[in-house]
């Protein structure tokens, strides 16, 4: 089918979205142990004592508005966050299901627009509605291929794909295949922090980004083909990586893949350049070098602040404890479910985002993708999200515990990543 049809369809979707509301496995690294589950997610800076009596509170000011897509000058980048700013997981699920700009609804529309191919590299594909959309695409003649992590090869969503003989490969190795990206036709790449599970789609704080860019497709397609066709998962294809493209003619984006792709060093260099501010939203943050740079910057008049997912704070290796003791402004998130984002914003002009948690395993062992975007407009969208999460952290306190493998370490999710 003609690419013009896809572009017209995609453009209509993006304009529609903008108009609405103004717009694991085994532990391999001794520095990154399995996190100890916490009893609740409290707004207090220290973990709550055992067996607290939960007194959940949700934001009393009504439904927050999700961060809108960037201004119309960003024609080829779409950015969407889960509308998950209330305290209780069920409340967030109800809100997300009703939100016309929910990332999962945008994704469903993109999948339905596919004309020729959909290549998927995803840590966990468990949601049956999303899986069925891939099945439907396959039935109408779209070529669908999937890469997933061995631990999740028998999830319900994957099994739906198996039933119609969609080709699926697994990584078959101890470090996890933690990538999160989808290539649609030769026009579009979707990526971000969101797994394709019901909890990740409907309860967690996540970011979804899509790029309408053939250059970006080329970068991600090369990575997909290395894993799917050549079975390369060890990073041996990443040593000479220099994947920089320009989006909309003036927004440079560098893409890094782990392992052995120099991702950590690239992030460290960006942090060193900070002159005014650093903000971060981190599901897992254990990297000592990044922590030390943030402390040094904070001590030298660079405003550093961040939000941590509460379920990871039981680990003695979490950066939360060191940053807190060093007088950095940090918060425990206000979502009973996971604050699953992996973002940094530097000087209100540089954004670091993707599947990459700020940990040694993410850099040295796992398959990950990370993007460094230079754009004040994009940075503004992420800063707005930070402000919403900060308000949520202050407002939603004493929340009940959340039953998730990502917190409890009971296999399958990202609990052994760090």
In contact, 118 and 224? CB cutoff 8 Å? no
Looking at the DSSP bridge assignments, the partners of residue 373 are 253, 351
- Given the DSSP bridges, would you call strands 329-332 and 303-308 parallel, antiparallel or unpaired? parallel
Looking at the DSSP bridge assignments, the partners of residue 256 are 370
**E strands within 15-161?**
77-81, 117-122, 143-148
340 catalytic per annotation? yes
In contact, 273 and 252? CB cutoff 8 Å? no
Is the peptide bond prior to 84 cis by the omega test (within 30 degrees of 0)?
no
Query: Which of 321, 340, 374, 390 is flagged as catalytic?
Result: 340
Residue by residue, DSSP assigns 111-137 as HHH-SSEEEEEES-B--HHHHHHHHHH
Query: Which of 342, 374, 388, 390 is flagged as catalytic?
Result: 342
In contact, 370 and 180? CB cutoff 8 Å? no
Host H or E run for residue 217: helix 214-228
Dihedral over Cα of 54, 59, 63, 64: its sign: negative
348 catalytic per annotation? no
CB-based burial, 332-358: b 16+ in 10 Å, e otherwise: bbbbbbbbbbbbbbbeebbbbbbbbbb
Looking at the DSSP bridge assignments, the partners of residue 245 are 253
Query: Which of 28, 215, 296, 347 is flagged as catalytic?
Result: 347
C-alpha span between 399 and 389 (Å, rounded): 15
321 catalytic per annotation? no
**E strands within 361-403?**
368-374
Looking at the DSSP bridge assignments, the partners of residue 374 are 350
Active site residues: 340, 342, 347
């Amino acid at each position: 089918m003609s690419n013009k049809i896809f572009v017209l369809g995609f453009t209509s979707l993006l304009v529609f979205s903008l108009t609405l509301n103004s717009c694991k496995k085994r532990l391999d690294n001794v520095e990154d142990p399995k996190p100890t589950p916490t009893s609740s997610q409290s707004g207090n800076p220290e973990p709550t004592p055992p067996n607290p009596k939960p007194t959940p509170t949700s934001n009393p000011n009504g439904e927050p508005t999700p961060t809108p897509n960037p201004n119309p000058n960003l024609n080829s980048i779409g950015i969407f966050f889960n509308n998950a700013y209330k305290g209780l997981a069920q409340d967030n699920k109800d809100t997300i299901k009703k939100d016309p700009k929910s990332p999962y609804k945008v994704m469903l529309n993109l999948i339905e627009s596919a004309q020729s191919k959909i290549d998927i590299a995803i840590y966990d594909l468990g949601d049956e509605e999303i899986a069925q959309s891939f099945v439907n695409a396959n039935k109408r003649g779209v070529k669908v291929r999937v890469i997933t992590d061995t631990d999740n090869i028998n999830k319900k969503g994957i099994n739906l794909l198996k039933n119609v003989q969609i080709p699926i490969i697994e990584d078959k190795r101890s470090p996890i295949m933690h990538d999160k990206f989808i290539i649609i036709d030769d026009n579009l790449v979707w990526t971000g922090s969101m797994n394709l599970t019901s909890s990740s789609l409907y309860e967690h704080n996540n970011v979804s980004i899509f790029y309408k860019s053939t250059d970006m497709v080329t970068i991600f397609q090369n990575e997909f083909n290395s894993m799917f066709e050549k079975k390369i998962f060890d990073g041996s294809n990443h040593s000479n990586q220099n994947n920089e493209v320009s989006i909309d003619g003036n927004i440079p984006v560098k893409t890094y893949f782990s392992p052995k792709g120099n991702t950590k060093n690239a992030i460290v260099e960006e942090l060193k350049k900070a002159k005014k501010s650093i903000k971060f939203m981190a599901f897992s943050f254990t990297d000592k070098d990044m922590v030390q740079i943030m402390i040094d910057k904070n001590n030298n008049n660079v405003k550093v602040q961040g939000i941590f997912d509460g379920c990871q704070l039981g680990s003695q290796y979490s950066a939360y404890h060191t940053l807190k003791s060093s007088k950095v402004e940090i918060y425990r998130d206000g979502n009973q479910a996971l604050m699953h984002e992996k973002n940094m914003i530097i000087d209100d002009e540089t954004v670091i985002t993707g599947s990459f948690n700020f940990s040694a395993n993410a850099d040295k062992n796992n398959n990950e993708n990370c993007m460094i975007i230079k754009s004040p407009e994009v940075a503004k969208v992420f800063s707005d999200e930070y402000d919403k999460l900060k308000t949520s952290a202050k407002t939603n306190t004493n929340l009940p515990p959340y039953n998730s493998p990502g917190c409890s370490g009971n296999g399958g999710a990202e609990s052994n990543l760090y």
